[in-house]
Amino acid sequence: MKVAIIGVGTTKFGEHWDKSLRELAIEAGTNAIIDAKVRGSEIDSIYLGNMSAGRFIGQEHVAALVSGELGLSIPAVRVEGACASGGIALRQGILSILSGQDDIVLAGGAEKMTDLMTDGATTALMGAASQEWEAYYGLTFPSLYAMIARRHMFEFGTTREQIAKVAVKNHHNGSLNPIAQFNKEITVEEVLNSTMVADPLTLLDCSPITDGAAALILCKAELAKKYTDNPVYIIGSGQASDTLALHDRRSLTTLDATVKAAQVAYKQAGINVDDIDLAEVHDCFTIAEIVATEDLGFCKKGEGGKLLDEGATELTGRIPVNTSGGLKAVGHPVGATGVKQAIEIVLQLRGEADKRQVKDAKIGLTHNVGGSGATAVVHIFSR
């Protein structure tokens, strides 16, 4: 399997009071088209990740909205998979090229979340959880991930300080990323002493509510050199599902959908976990990064906290994780996150990540999760 990425584009992530979803999506899409040096008439289809524009801004039919604003009368499809919407949009773009249907595809994601007050945004986001068994009883995503954290601490002795180190590391990386919502470094003490949200997770353990958009231009591998001397190739793509409600899962400390999606992606790529040079994983909450590093095989189950103590996931570590700053520092506009992750890997493999650059990066991985793990998408990229 091989599909090329020839262009990337993104907005800055944050609170865009002066920009609409349409404007954000067009900015990212236009930047990607310019970067790829393609004409709009060469694009065969659009796949747009968007979780909940209807709830956030009252706008449905967003794929047609974007294609119309770009002046493209081509097939445009909105893809929804909760917080994994962007990753699935990318996967659908890959599949459309591999099927032979399309030669060039725009795969993007966009979300405008800050037009709602926090209560409204929380309600919209809980649409990604079980309404009958979770939302009805007052659960929120911070409380669901807090249960995962508590169980992880109980089963494996993971410490509160280890969990906090995820936020510290990712804020450091975010301080080096010009598109990040938060460019300020923080300390373990600041994480531990910030406002309690759902014990043991505090405010600084949680990714923020964010506006933003991101886009990629994909093409057939054999066409890539027509447009760029430095293409990045997608060599593996896996997606898997699990139960929507957390209480139906086999385990609270393993996201089986991640494990299965990763297995498919590794097999497609013809590599094993030791070949991965860096990864962007879904750190919607700090504990989520720890669980992801275990489920992806970067360490044994229960040893994700030790990776942080050893510095293994830092920019100069054995397996740098969330070099962009992750969802925690860059922000989490839910429909765009999976595409933003891919853009960070592309920049790293091109050697264009500036102060975040991982030395000699050749193979990268992205991991995008919907809800509390009901959907997971894993992509593998190579120079």
Per-residue model confidence as pLDDT tens digits over 91-137: 999 999 999 999 999 999 999 999 999 899 999 999 999 999 999 99
104-111 and 196-198: which strand pairing? unpaired
pLDDT exceeds 90 at position 29: yes
Question: Rounded to the nearest 5 degrees, what angle is found at the Cα of 164, between the Cα atoms of 161 and 166?
Answer: 125
Task: Please tell me which residue in 171, 332, 367, 379 is annotated as part of the active site.
Answer: 332
**Strand runs labelled E in 271-362:** 278-280
How much is the average pLDDT of 306-314? 98
Catalytic residue status for 83: yes
Q: What is the pLDDT of residues 60-77, one digit of tens each?
A: 999 999 999 999 999 999
Report pLDDT for 157: 98
Q: What is the pLDDT of residue 237?
A: 98
Annotation marks residue 152 as catalytic: no
Report the distance separating Cα 306 and Cα 121, nearest Å. Answer: 34
Q: Does domain 128-208+234-382 have CATH number 1.20.120.1760?
A: no
Interval 230-247: pLDDT, tens: 999 999 999 999 999 999
pLDDT tens track for 354-383: 999 999 999 999 999 999 999 999 999 999
Mean residue pLDDT of the chain comes to 97
3-state secondary structure of 126: helix
Going from N- to C-terminal start, the domains of the chain cover 3-117+210-232, 128-208+234-382
**Which of these is catalytic: 83, 206, 219, 299?**
83
- % of the chain surpassing 70 pLDDT: 100
Question: Can you count the helices (H) and strands (E) in the chain?
Answer: 14, 11
- Provide mean pLDDT across the span 203-218: 98
User: Global pTM?
Assistant: 0.98
The DSSP string of 2-52 is -EEEEEEEEPPPB--TT--HHHHHHHHHHHHHHHHT--GGG--EEEEE-S-
pLDDT band for position 1 (cuts 50, 70, 90): confident
Enter the CATH code of domain 3-117+210-232.
Answer: 3.40.47.10
52 phi, psi to nearest 5 deg: -155, 50
Sign of CA dihedral 264, 7, 214, 197: positive
Tens digits of residue pLDDT in 253-288: 999 999 999 999 999 999 999 999 999 999 999 999
Tell me whether the CATH fold assigned to 3-117+210-232 matches the one assigned to 128-208+234-382.
yes
pLDDT of residue 48: 98
